[in-house]
Amino acid sequence: MEQPNRFAEVVTTTDMEGQQNNEEERDRESNYSLHQTLSSTQLAIVGAKVSHIESLDYEINENDIFKHDWGKRSRAQALQYVFIKWTLAFLVGLLTGGVATLISLSIENISGYKFRAVVNYIDDKRYLTGFAFFAGANFLLTLGAAFLTVYFAPTAAGPGVSEIKAYLNGVDTPNMFGAATLFVKIIGSIGAVSAGLDLGKEEPLIHIGTCIASLLGQGGSDRYKLSWHWLRYFNNDRDKRDLITYGSSSGVCAAFRAPVAGVLFALEEVATWWRSALIWRTFFSTAVVAVVLRAFIDFCKSGSCGLFGRGGLIMFDVSGVIVRYHVMDIIPVVIIGVIGGLLGSLFNHVLHKVLRLYNLINEKGKLHKLLLALSVSLFTSICMYGLPFLAKCKACDSSLSESCPGNGGTGNFKQFNCPNGYYNDLATLLLTTKEDAIRNIFSLNTATEFQVTSLLIFFVLYCILGAITFGIAVPSGLFIPIILMGSGYGRLLGIAMRPYTKIDQGLYAVLGAASLMAGSMRMTVSVCVIFLELTNNLLLLPITMLVLLIAKSVGDCFNPSIYEIILELKGLPFLKAHPEPWMRNITVGELADVKPPVVTLQGIEKVRRIVEVLNYTTHNGFPVVDGVIPELHGLVLRTHLLLVLKKKWFLNEKRRTEDWEVEEKFTWIDLAERWDKIEDIAVTKDEMEMYVDLHPLINTTPHTVVESMSVAKAMVAFRQVGLRHMIIVPKYQAAGVLPVVGILTRQDLRACNISNVFPNLATSKSSKKGY
């Protein structure tokens, strides 16, 4: 029975409030930090900078103000809420579809005119001028994209999927979903993809979808004072979580024209919490995107979209092809899967190393970031333009229906430097947009089109480019690079397997791409449905599934998925779905022991005490304990304390406030705002001696655990219910002790943090898995 001592200590800590001066408080604070091994790191890499991050709070804060406000809500208001939520889902879809259209249109036109000019130079045999133009255009486009990203919105760099994933898990990355990020992501994505860099617009589209959703949810941009106050209603973490989910699926749908895949992507990869109603509205958003894209394509069929071709929205339609395969075809399919898993995990490993290297370069300053991006652009231009000269010209096969050679914007069989009647197969793959390259390498019934050497050069080049391009400071996505690599090795394998099976080489390329996606990103259901919707052919489904299953299983043996690697690299405190097995052997009470003693407040508290507590702790929630028989009243949030101080809602004597006093001062909307810093609030000496009645602000129903609860179960509950704070209560009843043992946050429940404090626990059990 050693607990009572601990409690006595805590009680003293609380009781001594008011009698202490600041110096003593500071001392106590420094004493705390000795213990503060748990939950001390709230820093993560945001953009390229280390920043302070916050957790989100999905719990309904059931305080008096909420109950009062919510009690007053009429049926009409409830219907209005539902109606606005549907409207927002519609708008998210509409705007994401619109932006995706704009991006596709811009990229296709810019790249199209660029390639058309290059082809003209080549036709005139002015190869060097052609290169200068090609490299120069790419350089300028990259410069534009990188400049915007580096100087205006560093968070727009990279794919953004990891941050979205973290957001939906409950981690708020600052500046991630703002108006500046949205703008830079759109323009930067157009620039970077048009510059022919080895990256795609798919993940940026996902991020764009979430930015649109977030801006709609908070009623416009705070920073630029463009906001509609009636939308403030949705400015809370719970509703924003839903909106971000719609946004991410709309983005996937916009990227692949695959509405079902969009929903499944959100379910499988991004979302941590999920409800039936959420699927339902998410699906509505993606349906809207699909309709917008369809209308746009119909509109462009009349030729009014400039050089916009079919390649702009990758669609490898093989619905007309009758796919035949037999039991023996399982062997090559298994081989593709295994290689995909191996290559995928290897790629993850290499990318991890490259990203760490790039982090070192990025730390040196903005100019270094810019130079890095420009060097990669130059290298890419040299390879894209120079390597096709290495390929032998091939004679056109007149039996094919496609025009050969063709040097138009899109299409197979590029002539490049070859005489008439011949084509350059490597130029077909390299000197074109990425989407066209994918269409060409996926093309069916073109078994003899590509030479082995060309495919080898293609594959090796994209492996290198994939690794070095991803980390530069422009909006970038991994889907396209991985599809390019995967299709390269798939088609190579197809040539090698040709004597043994009848599967078309185009399908090998498709399967190769799928296997590498599963091997690197470890998504299965969503990738499968993306491919199903891209190929529009159900008969391919069983072999695609098999490939994905094998590739993912093989990849999982070596390392986690690329998005998880990025999460870890950035230091985002993501809570995984399953607790580590050794977490069963430690109780939350033991965690509370290694944390600084819990800081509690009283129901009616002195202003001085509140200011001190806010100054000397960084906690975001404080249990309120009061009464002769000490009773847990609930939890009060830091933001609400700051709000009280800011509004100077002080009382001269120690008394309870009336309902009307509260109503006068606060609304539900005020409580949803986030006030940032205690330093910005001035409290006079006289005010310090006044009181605050915290009761109307207390969340009377915080989630709790008993101290004997195992950390594993506490973590599951924490994640499932979507909490920010979890109060630990004692397991026994005794007079004079606090009814609160401690408070748990996201950081306390992360395996890596716990194993730092209890190293023996993790090592003794680390080899054991299951459950």
Which residue is listed with tokens 């990849």?
555
* Contact pick of 731, 752, 759, 763 for a copy of itself (by CB under 8 A): 731
Which is nearer to a copy of itself, 220 or 630 (by Cβ)? 630
Spell out, one character per residue from 225 to 264, where the chain touches a copy of itself: x when CB under 8 A holds, - when not. Answer: ----------------------------------xx--xx
Listed in sequence order, the residues at least 6 apart from 633 whose beta carbon sits closer than 8 Å to its beta carbon are: 603, 624, 625, 626, 695, 698, 700
What is the Cα–Cα distance from 236 to 213, expressed in whole angstroms?
13
Q: How far is the CB of 733 from a copy of itself (least distance, A)?
A: 5
What is the Cα–Cα distance from 435 to 312, expressed in whole angstroms?
7
Interface with a copy of itself includes 631 (CB under 8 A)?
yes
Q: How far is the CB of 36 from a copy of itself (least distance, A)?
A: 26
* Contact pick of 31, 87, 667, 720 for a copy of itself (by CB under 8 A): 720
Q: How far is the CB of 239 from a copy of itself (least distance, A)?
A: 10
Q: How far is the CB of 732 from a copy of itself (least distance, A)?
A: 4
Tell which phi-psi region holds residue 449, choosing left (phi > 0), alpha (psi between -120 and 50) or beta.
Answer: alpha
What is the Cα–Cα distance from 428 to 458, expressed in whole angstroms?
11
What is the Cα–Cα distance from 425 to 239, expressed in whole angstroms?
51
Interface with a copy of itself includes 546 (CB under 8 A)?
yes
Which is nearer to a copy of itself, 176 or 290 (by Cβ)? 290
Spell out, one character per residue from 35 to 74, where the chain touches a copy of itself: x when CB under 8 A holds, - when not. Answer: ------------------------xx-x----x--x--xx
Spell out, one character per residue from 675 to 714, where the chain touches a copy of itself: x when CB under 8 A holds, - when not. Answer: -------------------------xx-xxxx-xxx--x-
Token duo for residue 16: 């001594």
Restricted to residues 428-447, the positions that interact with a copy of itself (CB under 8 A) are none
Distances (CA, A) of 104 to 189, 215, 250, 260: 10, 22, 15, 21
Restricted to residues 512-531, the positions that interact with a copy of itself (CB under 8 A) are 524-525, 528-529
What is the Cα–Cα distance from 437 to 383, expressed in whole angstroms?
15
Restricted to residues 633-672, the positions that interact with a copy of itself (CB under 8 A) are 633-634
Instruction: Report which DSSP code applies to 577.
Output: S
Nearest to 161 by CA among 234, 268, 236: 268
* Contact pick of 545, 569, 672, 688 for a copy of itself (by CB under 8 A): 545
- Which stretch of DSSP H or E encloses residue 424? strand 422-424
Q: How far is the CB of 501 from a copy of itself (least distance, A)?
A: 17
What is the Cα–Cα distance from 365 to 309, expressed in whole angstroms?
40
Which is nearer to a copy of itself, 660 or 771 (by Cβ)? 771
* Contact pick of 342, 393, 497, 541 for a copy of itself (by CB under 8 A): 541
Which is nearer to a copy of itself, 279 or 361 (by Cβ)? 279
Interface with a copy of itself includes 629 (CB under 8 A)?
yes
Interface with a copy of itself includes 630 (CB under 8 A)?
yes
The one-letter amino acid at 227: S
Which is nearer to a copy of itself, 656 or 768 (by Cβ)? 768
Buried b (16+ CB within 10 A) or exposed e, 505-534: bbbbbbbbbbbbbbbbbbbbebbbbbbbbb
Instruction: For the chain, give the number of residues.
Output: 771
Distances (CA, A) of 96 to 172, 262, 396, 445, 593: 22, 13, 42, 36, 49
- Which stretch of DSSP H or E encloses residue 35? helix 22-35
Q: How far is the CB of 195 from a copy of itself (least distance, A)?
A: 32
Token duo for residue 589: 């009470």
Nearest to 703 by CA among 684, 729, 676: 729
Q: How far is the CB of 340 from a copy of itself (least distance, A)?
A: 16
Interface with a copy of itself includes 104 (CB under 8 A)?
no
Which is nearer to a copy of itself, 114 or 724 (by Cβ)? 724
DSSP SS3 for 49: strand
Instruction: Report which DSSP code applies to 371.
Output: H
Restricted to residues 260-289, the positions that interact with a copy of itself (CB under 8 A) are 260, 263-264, 267-269, 274-277, 279-280, 283-284, 287
What is the Cα–Cα distance from 467 to 481, expressed in whole angstroms?
9
Nearest to 593 by CA among 366, 750, 748: 748
Phi, psi of 769 (to 5 degrees): -125, -175
Interface with a copy of itself includes 538 (CB under 8 A)?
yes
* Contact pick of 78, 331, 460, 752 for a copy of itself (by CB under 8 A): 78
Interface with a copy of itself includes 585 (CB under 8 A)?
yes
Phi, psi of 609 (to 5 degrees): -60, -45
What is the Cα–Cα distance from 174 to 714, expressed in whole angstroms?
27
Which is nearer to a copy of itself, 15 or 23 (by Cβ)? 15
Part in contact with a copy of itself (CB under 8 A); list of ranges 189-197, 336-344, 385-393, 632-640: 632-640
Which is nearer to a copy of itself, 303 or 320 (by Cβ)? 320
Q: How far is the CB of 71 from a copy of itself (least distance, A)?
A: 8
* Contact pick of 736, 752, 759, 763 for a copy of itself (by CB under 8 A): 736
Interface with a copy of itself includes 9 (CB under 8 A)?
no
CB 432 within 8 A of CB 115: yes
Interface with a copy of itself includes 590 (CB under 8 A)?
no
Q: How far is the CB of 65 from a copy of itself (least distance, A)?
A: 13
Can you name the residues that pair with 742 across neighbouring β-strands?
728
Q: How far is the CB of 93 from a copy of itself (least distance, A)?
A: 11
Q: How far is the CB of 447 from a copy of itself (least distance, A)?
A: 25
Q: How far is the CB of 78 from a copy of itself (least distance, A)?
A: 4
Instruction: Report which DSSP code applies to 268.
Output: I
Restricted to residues 106-145, the positions that interact with a copy of itself (CB under 8 A) are none
Decide the pairing of beta strands 704-706 and 621-626.
unpaired
Nearest to 374 by CA among 654, 602, 146, 676: 146
* Contact pick of 351, 692, 694, 738 for a copy of itself (by CB under 8 A): 738
What is the Cα–Cα distance from 478 to 486, expressed in whole angstroms?
12
Which is nearer to a copy of itself, 67 or 353 (by Cβ)? 67
Interface with a copy of itself includes 577 (CB under 8 A)?
yes
Listed in sequence order, the residues at least 6 apart from 301 whose beta carbon sits closer than 8 Å to its beta carbon are: none
Please count the residues of this chain forming the interface with a copy of itself, following the rule CB under 8 A. Answer: 90
Q: How far is the CB of 644 from a copy of itself (least distance, A)?
A: 22
Restricted to residues 288-347, the positions that interact with a copy of itself (CB under 8 A) are 290-291, 294, 319-320
CB 173 within 8 A of CB 163: yes
Which is nearer to a copy of itself, 44 or 709 (by Cβ)? 709
Q: How far is the CB of 405 from a copy of itself (least distance, A)?
A: 31
